[in-house]
Amino acid sequence: MKMRHSFSNSTLSALFGITSRTISKRLRLGVSLLDEAIVWTFLDSLQHDRQAMASNNTAMARSLFHQSEDDVCVIFDGTYRYCQASSNLDAAQRLYSGHKRRPLYKIMVGVAPNGRILYVTGKYSATRTDSTILRHAFERGTLHRLQLNDVILADMGFASFQKFIEQQRGENLFEVRTSHKSKVAGANIDEETRRFNESRCVSLVRWRVEQTFGIFKQRFHYFQNANFKCTTEDFRKAKIMFALMNFFFEDITKDNNSLELTERIVARMNKTNLMAHFVCNFKLAESNLEHFADFRLFLLTNIDDHSIAAIFPPQTENNDLIMLACGSYQLKQAKLYLNRQNVKTTFKVGKVTKFNSYFIDNFKLDSEQGETIHFIVGQVASTKNNTSSLTASSNKTFLLIDTSKAGYEAILEYYCTCPMGLRTVGCCIHVMAIVWFLGGGYKCKNETVNPNLNLLCDITASRSSSTETNEESE
């Protein structure tokens, strides 16, 4: 009850009818017994047993990072524990976090791809970065069981630790992979595509540590209580809570589509983004959409199935969108992107046919597909005022679809000018927003994705067609 609900000693005293002093003694005894009984068995012993660590790896992680059954994959990330401010000036400075604006100490946690906790090390001052904390753990031998072909996954905050390991790379040293969101100056399209694909593979496995933290803080409210001092005794309680997580461990990686999804990721890992090369060669990213002579814009405020089928015939189900994005995150974010309250979403999309011969010659398509392929250009942007939010600098999305195919297989190529738009493993939220909306999302105007958000609150677009303009003037 103390760890789950964070009841105070006075509350427990009233519930059980004993004094607060007796409650304190019993709690100290309970912490000591739990520390001896479960911390080593269900937590600390795992980092000394390679077989136990390897058994918690997943098939997806092994396929994405080319590992065998005996290799280990660990996802590291830091969490924090709020505490009381220290009366000592030096300690108070080290415990104060400028980011959170309150005193805390940090804990470094290593999680297996299936969600089991393997490493818990601490306690560290709030002024230390995640990268320096993990380097300290490496230098004092905490990671001594990790060997060649083992992989550590982390976010971009561990970039300096990744460089440190690359400089220290020895015969039996592990590999560190981090996710990133920025482009490298001077890199070509193929290099950037490969980097973003590798980053996406890291993210597909790394989310388990975030979910583990979420479950942990939901189950143990005591961890979020800040009325405690930064002491060794308090850190012991934190380790007991992490050990209890392993004691009641549930595999959080069960997914019926994991095998098919893994095969698609591996197949697209080294795929060249042909659409990005095409857009760069013709300098379409710098052009306004209205510059295309045969470009038609649809008014999406009064759309129907016939108008959508003219430009985007494929109907996409939820599983198709997950396979296209290589996960469900982009799908959720795309819906939220279009569903923000009090925000006007401008949605332009149109079909271009004059490049079909280029696609057949350079995209390795059959000549018969010249009649079934659609080249789609779109823009999605949002603004809080009534002015148009689409400008020449807005992110542009380019898709090539085959109307003779169904589901996600109909999306042959895609590219977006946003920072995440180069990857071929998954897609950005702008591509997903267009595919989801045109593939059937426009029918769900009464669907509520989030209780605080209305679906498709204001989807508008301009309509520009010379023939239609002439008809209206007549």
Q: pLDDT digits over 47-58, tens only?
A: 888 999 999 999
Confidence of residue 452 (pLDDT cuts 50, 70, 90): very low
Q: How confident is the model at residue 148 (pLDDT cuts 50, 70, 90)?
A: confident
Above 50 in pLDDT, residue 463?
A: no
Residues 6+ apart with CB under 8 A from 298: 307, 308, 311, 349, 350, 461, 463
pLDDT at 366: 78
pLDDT at 381: 63
Locate 5 and state its tokens: 């609900």
Contact 201, 65 (CB under 8 A): yes
Q: What is the pLDDT of residues 380-393, one digit of tens each?
A: 765 554 444 444 45
Residue 333 has pLDDT above 70, yes or no: yes
Residue 435 confidence class, pLDDT cut points 50, 70, 90: confident
- State the pLDDT at residue 464: 32
Q: Decide if pLDDT at 230 tops 80.
A: no
Cα 265 to Cα 57, 99, 261, 408, distances in angstroms: 18, 36, 6, 13
Q: How confident is the model at residue 454 (pLDDT cuts 50, 70, 90)?
A: very low
What burial class does residue 192 get, using C-beta atoms within 10 Å of its C-beta: 0-12 exposed, 13-18 middle, 19+ buried?
middle
Evaluate if residue 229 carries a pLDDT over 70: yes
Where helices occur in 248-304 by DSSP H, the ranges are 258-268, 274-282
Q: Quick one: how many helices (H) and strands (E) in the chain? A: 19, 11
Q: Which residue, chain included where needed, has tokens 């909306």?
A: 437
Q: How far is CA 34 from CA 37, 40, 41, 216, in A?
A: 5, 10, 11, 18
CA separation for the pair 37, 129 (Å, rounded): 32
Task: Identify the pLDDT of residue 346.
Answer: 58
Q: What is the separation of C-alpha 257 from the centre of its chain, rounded to a whole number of angstroms?
A: 18
8 Å CB contact between 423 and 324: no
Examine residue 25 and say whether the peptide bond preceding it is cis (omega within 30 degrees of 0).
Answer: no
Structure tokens at 109: 């946690």
Helix, strand, coil percentages, rounded to 5, for the chain: 45, 15, 40
| Strand-strand pairing, 459-460 and 344-352 | parallel
- Of 85-99, 128-142, 253-267, 312-326, least confident by mean pLDDT is 253-267
Q: Does residue 74 sit in helix, strand or coil? A: strand
Cβ burial of 38 (10 Å; 0-12, 13-18, 19+) is: middle
pLDDT higher than 50, residue 154? yes
Given this model, what pLDDT does residue 294 score? Answer: 47
CA dihedral 257, 258, 264, 266 (to 10 degrees): -170
Calculate mean pLDDT across residues 280-302. 62
Q: What is the per-residue DSSP string for 428-450?
A: -HHHHHHHHHHTTGGG-TT--SB
Mean pLDDT, the chain, whole residue set: 79
- 57-66, 71-80, 318-327, 369-378: range with lowest mean pLDDT: 369-378
The helix-helix angle for 20-34 and 9-16 (nearest 10°) equals 100
Q: pLDDT grade, residue 106 (50/70/90)?
A: very high
The pLDDT-based confidence of 257 (bands split at 50, 70, 90) is: low
Strands 151-154 and 396-402: unpaired
Predicted pLDDT at 54: 93
Q: What number is the average pLDDT over the span 141-156? A: 89
| pLDDT (0 to 100) of residue 313 | 72
Report the C-alpha gap between 180 and 157 in whole angstroms.
9
Question: What is the predicted pLDDT for the residue at 467?
Answer: 35
The residue whose two tokens read 């193929």 is 190
| In the predicted structure, residue 172 carries a pLDDT above the cut 70 | no
The answer on pLDDT for 25 being more than 70 is: yes
Indicate if the pLDDT at residue 431 is higher than 50.
yes
| CA distance linking residue 170 with residue 257, whole number of Å | 38
Q: What's the confidence (pLDDT) of residue 185? A: 58
pLDDT of res. 169: 66
pLDDT at 151 over 80: yes
**pLDDT at residue number 170:** 61
- As a whole number of angstroms, the distance between CA 205 and CA 198 comes to 11
SS3 117: strand
Among 116-130, 160-174, 196-210, 318-332, the range scoring the smallest mean pLDDT is 160-174
DSSP state of 35: I
Angstrom distance (rounded) from CA 41 to CA 59: 26
* CA separation for the pair 329, 353 (Å, rounded): 32
Least confident span in 171-175, 241-245, 291-295: 291-295
DSSP, collapsed to helix, strand or coil, labels residue 201 as: helix
Q: How far apart are CA 295 and CA 281, in angstroms?
A: 19
The per-residue pLDDT for 457 is 28
Residue type, 251: D
Task: Output the pTM of the full model.
Answer: 0.81
- pLDDT computed for residue 171 by the predictor: 56
pLDDT of residue 371: 75
Position 186 confidence tier, pLDDT thresholds 50, 70, 90: low
Confidence of residue 70 (pLDDT cuts 50, 70, 90): very high
For residue 375, which of 397, 359, 354, 399 has the smallest C-alpha distance?
399
Q: What is the pLDDT of residue 466?
A: 34
Residue 410 or residue 7, greater confidence: 410
Residue 311 has pLDDT above 80, yes or no: no
Cβ-count burial 122-147 (b if 16+ within 10 Å, e if not): bbbbbebebbebbbebbeeebbebbe
| pLDDT band at residue 77 under the 50/70/90 scheme | very high
Higher pLDDT, 306 or 463: 306
Q: Is the pLDDT of residue 469 over 80?
A: no
pLDDT at 471: 39
CA-based angle 143:146:148, to the nearest 5?
140
Residue with tokens 């271009």: 352
